[in-house]
Amino acid sequence: MRVVLAEDLALLRDGLTRILQAYGYDVVAAADDVDALEEALREMKPDLAIVDVRMPPTFTDEGLRAAIEARRVRPGLPVLVLSQYVEQLYARELLASGDGAVGYLLKDRVADVATFIDAVRTISEGGTVLDPQVVATLLSKAAPLSRLTPREREVLGLMAEGRSNAAIASRLFVTEKAVSKHTNSIFTKLDLPVASDDNRRVRAVLTYLQGQG
């Protein structure tokens, strides 16, 4: 899998490159500013982009904007965004299409190589991954989700982290059947029509990110 990486900090950029290569990913470009990132996305036609939100020259949201534009040009392009802080506006914009194959991780999470690689794999396969701290922040501000029970909110939070029903069941020490019951209840309470399960999972996450009940 061909990967374009964008990170202005040289040590982190080199570290991420080495990790990805060790797990069989082909890092075809490692950009240190937004111009190099945009050129790499345009010229290299990667299978996955891993992008720092804030990059030179202004260190605001250049990386994010480049990633969103790349997904506009190539719908469904897997993108993993890295950020120093929880910024829910960025998460909403990244997930706005509802197509999946996107992720938002705090940079601290990259120190856990297994978690990072799992996120990369999930996103490259079309899944959605949100950092647990991002999920906690968003759920705490999600008033439109008042219809959900505390357990359903917990399940939705784990769902937003990209976990399968089996993984959620293991985390909560309940049966997979119980998790399925909770997810169906979540879909019903959030007025999500019958569709593929993966699609509804993404839309359930989007519901609280976009403040829609």
DSSP string, 19-57: HHHHTT-EEEEEESSHHHHHHHHHHH--SEEEEESS-TT
Domain 2-130 class? Answer: alpha beta
2-130 matches 142-209 in fold: no
Per-residue pLDDT at 16: 95
Domain range summary for the chain, segments of one domain joined by +: 2-130, 142-209
Residues sharing a CB contact under 8 Å with residue 19, sequence separation 6 or more, in sequence order: 113, 116, 117
Per-residue pLDDT at 162: 72
Per-residue pLDDT at 68: 85
Structure tokens at 177: 């059947």
Give pLDDT < 70 ranges for the chain: 86-92, 95-99, 134-145, 193-200, 202-203, 205-213
Per-residue pLDDT at 213: 39
Per-residue pLDDT at 198: 56
Per-residue pLDDT at 55: 86
Per-residue pLDDT at 88: 64
Q: Could you report the per-residue pLDDT of 140-180, keeping only the tens digit for each?
A: 555 556 778 889 988 988 887 778 899 999 999 999 999 99
**Separation between Cα atoms, residue 1 and residue 52, nearest integer Å:** 20
Per-residue pLDDT at 212: 40
Per-residue pLDDT at 207: 63
| Region 142-209: CATH code | 1.10.10.10
